[in-house]
Amino acid sequence: MKALELFKKIEDEIPKDLALKDDFVGYIGKSSNLSYDIERVLILMDYVPHLNDINYSDYDLLILHHPPFNHPNNFKAPELELPTYVIHSNWDIIKGGACDALADSLNIDITGILDPQTGLGRIGIIKNGPISVTEFVNNVSAALKLNQLKTVNNDNALIEKIALVSGFGLSPSYIQKAYDKNVDLYLSGDLTHAGAIMAKKIGIRLLDVSHHASEVPGLYRLGELISRMGVEVKVKDSGIPWKAYYFK
């Protein structure tokens, strides 16, 4: 399949104009000529150069969830080892994308959108709920294969109505949006000290599963979608990009 044909299929399914303002999505390449053939696609959450267990020469295209730079003007093309296509906030926002994949992995039925202005985030009901906070946390840990997570206001009450955002959602502004929706618990990643203090003050339960873990279900769903377009796809989860040390 020609690159131009594949990119058109991707943009028909995941329109670029859904992306948040100033978020880079789309093609990155040294050449504007998109007539080259694509047979094998590698999908990563983040680009980390020279990973020992990735032979980039085996692939014709790299698809990233996170842009490999903060702004196009800061991008140095020689760093990337393959022509690259970025699918970021448009995948978080679109129906059936990353947020919905996260909800499905946690057995949550979607009933609404957390931020209707952008389409980001979901509101849903736990299937077979209500359940205790402890049971829900244990279910999340098993589903996302986590051995640690962070909670705020964990009182072990019965919960049923959940807000969630894949990725970066535990900012104070989105915590406020979840509180305004009167949810029983808000789940996402990237909790800060300020966000935790705010949550304690207003009394909303938070569950931080990490930015990475909250986006893994969506990464694999993206791989399934791209594979149906007629190319061979490999999804590689490179894991959380740091190590934690535990002390007694």
Report which DSSP code applies to 61. Answer: E
Q: Is 45 helix (H, G, I), strand (E, B) or coil?
A: coil
Among residues 77, 81, 74, 35, the alpha carbon closest in space to that of 59 is found at 81
Query: Is 37 annotated as belonging to a binding site?
Result: no
Q: Which candidate, 134, 54, 91, 31, places its Cα nearest to that of 226?
A: 91
Neighbours of 150 (CB within 10 A): 14
Q: Is 65 annotated as a binding residue?
A: yes
215 is in an annotated binding site: yes
Q: What angle do CA 79, 80, 84 make, to 5 degrees?
A: 150
- DSSP-derived 3-state class of residue 121: strand
Residue position matching structure tokens 């599963």: 209
Tokens for 176, please give them.
Answer: 């406020």
Question: Measured between alpha carbons, how far apart are the two ends of the chain, in Å?
Answer: 55
Q: For residues 9 and 16, give the distance between their C-alpha atoms in angstroms, rounded to a whole number.
A: 12
Q: Compute φ and ψ for 229, nearest 5 degrees.
A: -85, -5
- 3-state secondary structure (DSSP) of residue 217: helix
- The alpha helices in the chain, defined as continuous H runs, are 3-13, 89-93, 98-105, 133-144, 172-180, 193-202, 211-227
Binding-site sequence positions for a divalent metal cation = 65-66, 92, 211, 215
Output the known binding site: 65-66, 92, 211, 215
